[in-house]
Structures are given as C-alpha cells and as structure tokens.
C-alpha cells in the first residue's frame, strides 16, 4: 500500500501533462500589431487653459474647498509661463470665514455679576490665492526609453472588456530648470490659538486686554474663562524661487484593432523656497453691544513667519481637451507655528492650443487593418 499512492500520483501527472498543455494553448496571449505615427516630445501645444471646478486647500490656518483657473503658456522653447488663481464663493466651504460670520465676538466682564459683549465688525476676507511665475529650461535632453499605452476595445453586447496596457519604445524629453515668481494669499483666520500658543496679550485702544485666559476689562474685572471668538484677515504676498523637473512624452501609435492611441503626458515636479515680506494680520475692530464707539485691537504682538518651502507636481496632456491634476505640500508664510498646508487641484477640462503640426487622424474602421 505504501507504494500504491506514489505510483498513482506519478501516473496521474504523466498522463495529465498533455491535457494541461492543451488547456494552456486554448487561452493564447493576443499580440498587438502597431506602427508609430508620431514620437516627438518637442512638438507641443503652446497654451493650456486649466478650468478647475474643484480645488482643496487644507491649512493649519484654514480649510477651503473652492475652484480656480490656471494658464500655462510657452512663448519660446526654453521658457514656460504659468499663472493661476483659486478662490471660494460659498461660505460653508470656507471654514474660518463661515465661523467668523456666525459668531465672531469678545466677551467682557463689566462687573461682578454683569457680562458684556463686543461684536467684531471686520469685513472677513474670502479665501483667494494668486500666483504667476516662470520655469526656465537649463538642461533639455532627449532620451530613449519606453512608454505605457492604454488600449481600449469598443464595447460589444454581452462581452465584458478590460483596458490593456502595452509597453512601446518611445523618446522621453527630460528638462531641468529654474523657477521664479510671485504669490499672494488672503484668508480669514482664528487668532485665539495663536494668542495661547505665543502667550501673547492683545490690547485695545480703550484699555481692554485679550489673553489666553479671556478678557481683562478697563474696569479691572476679568472673565472667568476664555469665551472669545477672535478672527481676523491674514494676507501674505512675496516671491518664490526654486527648481523644477519635467518629463515629456508625445507618442502616437496606430494599432490594428484599437485605432490610434497615444501617450502625450507632461509630468512636472518642483521644489520652491518662499519669501513673503508683506505678511500681515488685520487689526480687529470691535463694538460693544448697545453702546457707541469702536475699540481697535492691534495684532502686532503676534509673531508671523515670512518664509516657507514647498514641493509639488502637475500632470497635463498635449491634446486639445482633457484633464490635468496637481498637488503640493509644504510650510507657507503664516501665523507662527501654523504654516503646514496641502493643496489638490483637479482641472476638468484642460484646453490646449497651438500645436505646430497637424495631429494624426484615426481612419481605422471595424474591418480595416494597418495594411489597408
């Protein structure tokens, strides 16, 4: 009996090998025939317009969901200009501004038993971010490499299809360059945590003092706890300088079944140093309820950081209408200790214009092949 099982298993494997061979050959891998129509990463459009229905800015100072518009322009072969603006028009999607509108104010202690209220009357800024700059090419080289191309079959009734990806020999244009530009940002911010973190005291021009414990009234009474909701407008304008890298592919192939497919991606990555000498917090203006007159609170005692840095990427495509995405993270000029941020930008659609050559046309029909 000890010899029966090994003998049986051996015979099964021997007689099953042809069956496995037939089974394997019944699912052959289908080859894709193609010819290259275009492989020139220097043949680019000159203008991109990025329509951004969705932008997300997550900051220590605020969180905003908005929209924007960007433009990318290539005036000469070695220079790329870029400018854009992001903003918010819906109060509920600008967290700090919405909170400020709902209840910005200062609680005071008028006597042992009587509390008072001061309403902050500032015009709280909507979030916006503006930037314009250039990317100058220092090193520009063409390398031989490969490109992944996605093949998509036309859907047929009763048949499920999945995208197929093939690797094709392709040229890759690689650019290293320098970046320089200006940036500006404005947003509503809460300064309550900054007063506590920096152990600062903010004094009004009529004797009221604000600190991490609450309010010290001119009459000498202090609030029992900090019930203040302190908001102001933060603005910051300055310069950025840095370095960037681009990898460009502009490949179109003609396949026997899928027609013309391509990979014309432009990937950009960058790192910048930020210096914003014009960084400021607006003075808080507060009016006592049921009384006339306004008290002004200068936020000068709060320390501001005027330097920062960031890294980011963008991917767009060299075709008439498609999508593009971008993101960056870093530490920006801000209230001291509140500079970390992240940005995500989705552009649908991204329009592109100005190619120097005619684009290839797809003339492969259902019953055509490359040889026809």
Share of the chain above pLDDT 90, in %: 60
| Confidence tier at 150 by pLDDT (50, 70, 90) | low
Distances in Å between the alpha carbon of 33 and those of 11, 142, 166, 170, 344? 42, 26, 11, 16, 39
Q: Which two tokens stand for residue 347?
A: 């552009």
HEC profile of 302-337: CCEECEEEEEEEEEEECCCEEEEEEEEEEECCEECC
Q: Per mean pLDDT, which of 285-289, 320-324, 342-346 is the most reliable?
A: 342-346
Distance (Å, whole) CA 45 – CA 133: 19
| Confidence tier at 356 by pLDDT (50, 70, 90) | low
The CA-based angle 304-307-312, given to 5 degrees, is 125
pLDDT of residue 104: 93
pLDDT of residue 43: 87
Is CATH 2.40.128 what the domain over 34-353 is classified as, yes or no?
yes
| Confidence tier at 151 by pLDDT (50, 70, 90) | low
- Which tops the pLDDT comparison, 28 or 297? 297
**165 alpha-carbon distance from chain centroid:** 27
| E strand or H helix at 103 | helix 95-103
Residue 237, CA atoms < 13 Å, CB-side half-sphere:
6
**330 alpha-carbon distance from chain centroid:** 11
Q: Is the per-residue pLDDT at 157 higher than 70? A: no
Closest CA to 334 of 354, 298, 309: 309
**1 alpha-carbon distance from chain centroid:** 71
| E strand or H helix at 111 | none
Omega before 307 within 30 of 0, i.e. cis: no
Is the four-CA dihedral 90, 95, 97, 103 of positive or negative sign? positive
Beta bridge partner(s), residue 233: 188
Place of tokens 């329009």: 351
Q: Is the per-residue pLDDT at 17 higher than 50? A: no
- Tell me the per-residue pLDDT of 265-282, one tens digit each, with 9 for 90 and over: 899 999 999 999 999 999
Q: Which two tokens stand for residue 171?
A: 């040229």
Contacts of 303 (CB under 8 A, 6+ apart): 198, 335, 336
- Tell me the per-residue pLDDT of 52-75, one tens digit each, with 9 for 90 and over: 999 999 999 999 999 999 999 999
Q: Are 183 and 276 in contact (CB under 8 A)?
A: yes
pLDDT of residue 70: 96
For the chain, the straight-line distance linking the first and the last C-alpha, in angstroms and rounded, comes to 67
- Tell me the per-residue pLDDT of 203-236, one tens digit each, with 9 for 90 and over: 999 999 999 999 999 888 999 889 999 999 999 9
Q: Is the per-residue pLDDT at 178 higher than 60? A: yes
pLDDT of residue 111: 82
For 299, phi then psi, to 5°, come to -90, 20
Closest CA to 231 of 188, 286, 279: 188
Work out the average pLDDT over 78-97. Answer: 94
Distance (Å, whole) CA 87 – CA 126: 8
Q: What is the largest CA-CA distance in the chain?
A: 108
Q: How many CB atoms lie within 10 A of CB 28?
A: 7
- Which tops the pLDDT comparison, 242 or 170? 242
Q: Is the per-residue pLDDT at 18 higher than 60? A: no
pLDDT of residue 368: 47
Spell out a b/e string for 54-77, using b for 16 or more CB atoms within 10 Å of the CB, else e. Answer: ebbbebbbbbbbbbbebebebeee
pLDDT of residue 339: 95
Q: Per mean pLDDT, which of 39-48, 104-113, 210-219, 267-276 is the most reliable?
A: 267-276
For the chain, give every domain's residue range: 34-353
pLDDT of residue 25: 36
**363 alpha-carbon distance from chain centroid:** 38
pLDDT of residue 4: 41
């Amino acid at each position: 009996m000890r010899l029966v099982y090994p003998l049986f298993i051996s015979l099964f494997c021997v007689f099953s090998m042809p069956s496995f061979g037939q089974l394997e050959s019944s699912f052959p891998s289908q080859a894709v025939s193609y010819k290259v129509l275009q492989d020139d990463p220097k043949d680019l459009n000159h203008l991109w317009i990025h329509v951004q229905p969705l932008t997300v800015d997550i900051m220590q100072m605020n969180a905003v969901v908005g929209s924007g518009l960007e433009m990318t322009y290539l005036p000469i072969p070695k220079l790329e200009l870029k400018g854009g603006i992001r903003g918010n028009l819906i109060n509920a999607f600008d967290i700090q501004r919405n909170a400020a509108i709902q209840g910005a104010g200062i609680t005071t202690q008028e006597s042992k038993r009587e509390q008072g209220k001061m309403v902050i009357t500032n015009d709280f800024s909507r979030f916006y971010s503006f930037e314009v700059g250039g990317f100058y090419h220092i090193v520009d080289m063409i390398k031989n490499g490969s490109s992944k191309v996605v093949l998509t079959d036309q859907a047929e009734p009763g048949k499920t299809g999945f995208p197929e990806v093939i690797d094709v020999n392709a040229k890759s244009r690689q650019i290293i360059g320098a970046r320089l530009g200006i940036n500006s940002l404005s947003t509503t911010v809460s300064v309550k945590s900054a007063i506590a973190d920096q152990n600062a005291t903010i004094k009004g021009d009529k004797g009221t003092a604000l600190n991490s414990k609450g309010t010290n009234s001119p009459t000498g009474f202090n609030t029992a706890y900090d019930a203040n909701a302190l908001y102001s407008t933060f603005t910051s304008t300055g310069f950025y300088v840095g370095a960037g890298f681009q990898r460009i592919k502009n490949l179109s192939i003609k396949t026997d079944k899928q027609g013309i497919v391509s990979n014309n991606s432009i990937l950009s990555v960058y790192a910048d140093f930020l210096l914003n000498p014009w960084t400021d917090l607006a003075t808080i203006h507060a009016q006592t309820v049921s009384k006339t007159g306004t008290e002004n609170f200068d936020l000068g005692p709060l320390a501001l950081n005027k330097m920062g840095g960031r890294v980011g990427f963008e991917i767009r495509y060299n075709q008439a209408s498609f999508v593009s995405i971008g993101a960056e993270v870093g530490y920006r000029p801000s209230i001291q200790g509140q500079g970390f941020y992240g940005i995500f930008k989705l552009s649908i659609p991204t329009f592109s214009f100005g190619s120097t050559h005619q684009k290839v046309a797809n003339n492969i029909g259902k019953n055509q092949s490359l040889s026809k």
